[in-house]
């Protein structure tokens, strides 16, 4: 990650992108320090940003594979694939059983009585739904509790050797409702950024929620979005185009 300094955040970003010869859409931008004019020069400071070029290696590999003639591709024996898939699925089922056993006493310590309903969506993604009448307590303010539990669950899976398996915790359809709220927030923030001509900084949120904002506005012709800050205080910034 490279660091760039300029009088304003926009100038620092522009200088960094030019120096790295990369488009904004292919860069991860972190605002380390915003600029400040100061009072009669006292307390004046420049803006500092960090820019990291996104890794295109996977995309390149995909293009190379796509360009490979079909006749050169060796197709594996179908029964072996089926056996391997079954083994992986069985392994994921064991991981979910272990995770449920791990989460149950934690939920009880929070004073929540809930039935944990695990479901394997595919070989890389699984979900646990909490059936409870105390969903408000389980979700917490702005989702802080359920998001913290989800982070804890993912750390546990990584610890027991299932880092390839992503987990989502949900209750009372909270994830869907939260996604719809974030989409509306994205559109409202975009309108504000265009109206004021100034970037708008949203509250810090987890990466999967920031992704909703980015995806919602990626086709918007009037604004750009990027993330700023360090976890767990990383937030989305919506700025007007140009």
- The whole-angstrom separation of Cα 223 and Cα 213 is 12
Which of 3.30.1370.50, 3.40.1350.10, 1.20.1250.20, 3.30.1490.190 would CATH assign to domain 176-240?
A: 3.30.1370.50
Could you read off the pLDDT of 100-159 as tens digits, one per residue?
A: 999 999 999 999 999 999 999 998 999 999 999 999 999 999 899 999 999 999 999 999
Could you read off the pLDDT of 221-242 as tens digits, one per residue?
A: 999 999 999 988 899 999 999 7
Domain boundaries of the chain, sorted by first residue:
2-53, 84-172, 176-240
Task: State residue 93's pLDDT score.
Answer: 92
Q: Which residue has the higher pLDDT, 90 or 28?
A: 28
Prediction pTM value: 0.61
**Which residues 6+ apart lie within 8 Å of 232 measured at CB?**
204, 206
Burial of 209 (0-12, 13-18, 19+ CB in 10 A): buried
Burial of 178 (0-12, 13-18, 19+ CB in 10 A): buried
The dihedral formed by the CA atoms of 5, 6, 10 and 11, expressed in degrees to the nearest 10:
-120
Could you read off the pLDDT of 142-192 as tens digits, one per residue?
A: 899 999 999 999 999 999 999 899 999 999 999 999 999 999 999 999 999
| CATH code assigned to 84-172 | 3.30.300.20
Query: One fold for both 84-172 and 176-240?
Result: no
Task: State residue 87's pLDDT score.
Answer: 52
Dihedrals phi, psi of 103, to nearest 5 degrees: -80, -30
């Amino acid at each position: 990650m490279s660091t760039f300094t300029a009088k304003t955040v926009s100038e620092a970003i522009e200088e960094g992108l030019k120096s790295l010869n990369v488009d904004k859409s292919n860069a991860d931008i972190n605002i380390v320090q915003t600029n400040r004019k100061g009072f009669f020069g006292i307390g004046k400071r420049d803006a500092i940003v960090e820019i990291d070029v996104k890794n295109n290696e996977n995309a390149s590999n995909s293009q190379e594979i796509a360009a490979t003639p079909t006749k050169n591709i060796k197709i594996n024996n179908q029964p072996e694939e089926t056996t391997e898939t079954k083994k992986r699925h069985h392994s994921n089922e064991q991981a979910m059983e272990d995770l449920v056993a791990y989460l149950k006493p934690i939920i009880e310590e929070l004073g929540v009585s809930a039935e944990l309903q695990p479901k394997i969506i595919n070989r890389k993604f699984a979900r646990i739904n909490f059936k409870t009448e105390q969903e408000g307590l389980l979700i917490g303010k702005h989702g802080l509790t359920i998001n913290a539990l989800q982070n804890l669950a993912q750390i546990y899976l990584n610890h027991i050797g299932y880092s390839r398996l992503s987990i989502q915790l949900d209750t009372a359809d909270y994830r869907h409702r939260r996604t719809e709220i974030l989409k509306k927030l994205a559109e409202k923030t975009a309108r504000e950024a265009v109206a004021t001509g100034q970037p708008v900084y949203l509250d810090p949120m987890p990466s999967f929620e920031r992704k909703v904002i980015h995806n919602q506005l990626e086709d918007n012709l009037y604004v750009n979005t990027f993330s700023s800050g360090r976890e767990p205080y990383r937030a989305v910034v919506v700025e007007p185009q140009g």
